Structure 1
Amino acid sequence: MRINKILNINSIVIKEDGVEKIVMGSGIAFQKSKNDLVDQSKIEKIFILKEENKKFQELLQSVPESHITLAEDIISYAEEKLEIKLNDHIHIALTDHLSFALEREKKGIPIRNRLVNEIKNLYHQEYEIAIWGIEHVKNELGISLPIDEAAFIALHIHTAKMNLTNIGSSIKKTMIIQDMIDIISSHLSIDIDRESMDYQRLLTHLHFALARLEDNKPFHDMDKDMLDVIKTKYSESFECALSVESFLNAEHSMSFPESEIGYITLHLQRIYDKNYQH
């Protein structure tokens, strides 16, 4: 295995069977030149990014090595905690995002993330990993990134965990859920406790309901008599659930079956009851 190209002191490109691969490891290119043998004891990661290989090579040559190292530390920590291999695209997406975030923070240009609560509750494990990540950044560089950044990092990790490459799909789903929550809060005239277990259960339910729609999976049926009781006994919450479904249909061309509206009603009623007990 020989070096085909040096990207930085910790990253090189090799070519095997005509395929370019990026090899990473601490000091792997130290005092090395093109065509030198690779010290295999220093190899930590090898991956192929196919058509995005060139983009990642450019990224490795253009951002500070400390930013690259920190992104890779977070990726490795995430893979260890989640016990899976993340989609290789995260090496581009997270490195690029983290470097940009660090540069913004140094210039005093924060970016707010209005989805923090939803991301924290929907992707709890990824969020905890991201919290470790921003603490790691602080320990290594002395730069304190805001909680908003932990939420962004968590989305990148979740996207790669789902073996996707576009963070946009994760953001879109989370934004739809937040819009649904806003409709619920407004319709029922309640201030939802976003730290409560009932809220977390509602978020999780809505998340999986949207996933069922996206994957064209069937919903659980509800006994018709039970549904009739819910409509009558919890009429306000049922009307609220219908409003949520109407929004979903009008804005995103998706529809919940009536049985699913019934299940959502039960979640809403629990929150409604808790709110008016105080």
Structure 2
Amino acid sequence: MAFRIHKILNNNAVVVLDNGQEKIVMGAGIAFQKRKNDIIPSAKIEKIFVMEEENEKFQELLRTLPEEHIQIAEEIISYAEGELKAPLNNHIHIALTDHLSFAIERLQQGYRIQNKLLNEIKVLYKKEYQIGLWAKQLIKERLGVDIPDDEAGHIALHIHTAKMDAVSMNKTLQQTTLIREMIEIIERELHIKIDEESISYQRLLTHLRFAINRIENNEMFHSMDSEMLELIKTKYQKEFKCAAKIAQYAKQEYNLEFPDSELAYITLHIQRLKEKN
């Protein structure tokens, strides 16, 4: 299909009209030596976007951000879709591009980037974090900018949020923050420092994430017979008390309610964690 240029955003992005609808068309050098109403060669077209709600914002980013930042963001998104074998929500073209450009500029100005949720991200979003590390290497090769693993974690969160069935970035951050806070409660209550490389830690994090998802989606929990529940409460009193504190915190701060059977399963995870420490 042949398109005529309606608006030039940068060397690699233009706006076209298709039956009266604005579409953003991207491709390497697609607007080079072109002007309004010129026809775009179809061989130059790499991506076509229809941004229903955020069209103006995306156009503004494409006009104002450094082209190499936009190109890198698009490569990361394409790589992520290939690795995850799933399309990502269109909003990531705005969210990741904007975030990445700002992060690169801060690093170039000597600022440090920190991510308090990095350890949780590494475990909970393994595939996305590996994509973040790939992006780290790409940015180093293209721009000579060393981004820290903390930033690879931020990229991972953006990618996880952009999965077509994922929730909003705020929800992703809230869930990951709650899990971090739960771990801090366990360390404080049991006077231990958890080995974040251990399998027990990784299993606990994964269990907590699925438990939180079940509560948020009103899904059924695995049942546990009353005798087993009482046995766990009696045998692992400290650990059950710790699990109860976690549940109390989740209820007070996030309005999430854990059933007793789930507290028993969390207790067993905490016990394994304690043994390994």
TM range (shorter): over 0.9
Structure 1 letter corresponding to 2:250? L
User: What is residue 265 of structure 2 aligned with on the other side?
Assistant: 263
Separation in 2 of the partners of 1:231 and 1:143?
52
Contact 1:227/1:262, CA 8 A, preserved across alignment: yes
Structure 2 residues not aligned, in runs of 5+: none
**Where does 1:113-192 land on structure 2 (aligned, <5 Å)?**
113-164=115-166, 166-192=168-194
TM-score, normalised to structure 1, is 0.97
User: What is residue 54 of structure 1 aligned with on the other side?
Assistant: 56
User: What is residue 211 of structure 1 aligned with on the other side?
Assistant: 213
User: What is residue 70 of structure 1 aligned with on the other side?
Assistant: 72
Separation in 2 of the partners of 1:164 and 1:272?
33
Contact 1:22/1:46, CA 8 A, preserved across alignment: yes
Say which SS state the counterpart of residue 22 (structure 2) adopts.
strand
Shift of 1:162: 4.6
Alignment partner of 1:234 out of 195, 213, 236 = 236
Contact 1:86/1:163, CA 8 A, preserved across alignment: no
Structure 2 letter corresponding to 1:100? F
Separation in 2 of the partners of 1:217 and 1:81?
29
The share of aligned pairs that are identical, in percent, is 56
Alignment partner of 2:85 out of 83, 88, 94 = 83
User: What is residue 32 of structure 1 aligned with on the other side?
Assistant: 34
Structure 2 letter corresponding to 1:32? K
Shift of 1:163: 4.2
Structure 1 letter corresponding to 2:117? L
Shift of 1:12: 0.8
Shift of 1:165: 7.2
Give the number of equivalent residue pairs. Answer: 275
Say which SS state the counterpart of residue 76 (structure 1) adopts.
helix
Say which SS state the counterpart of residue 31 (structure 2) adopts.
coil
Say which SS state the counterpart of residue 175 (structure 1) adopts.
helix
TM-score, normalised to structure 2, is 0.97
Shift of 1:215: 1.0
Shift of 1:229: 1.0
Separation in 2 of the partners of 1:221 and 1:165?
27
Say which SS state the counterpart of residue 46 (structure 1) adopts.
strand
Say which SS state the counterpart of residue 13 (structure 1) adopts.
strand
Say which SS state the counterpart of residue 112 (structure 1) adopts.
coil
Separation in 2 of the partners of 1:163 and 1:95?
21
Contact 2:113/2:148, CA 8 A, preserved across alignment: no
Say which SS state the counterpart of residue 159 (structure 1) adopts.
helix
Separation in 1 of the partners of 2:21 and 2:181?
45
Structure 2 letter corresponding to 1:8? N
Shift of 1:268: 0.5
Contact 2:87/2:164, CA 8 A, preserved across alignment: no
Say which SS state the counterpart of residue 15 (structure 2) adopts.
strand
Separation in 1 of the partners of 2:32 and 2:46?
15
Separation in 2 of the partners of 1:180 and 1:32?
56
Per mean C-alpha deviation after superposition, the further-off stretch among 105-114 and 137-146 is 105-114
Contact 1:90/1:165, CA 8 A, preserved across alignment: no
Contact 2:51/2:90, CA 8 A, preserved across alignment: yes
Query: Cα 1:165–1:218, aligned 2, differ >3 Å: closer, same or farther?
Result: closer
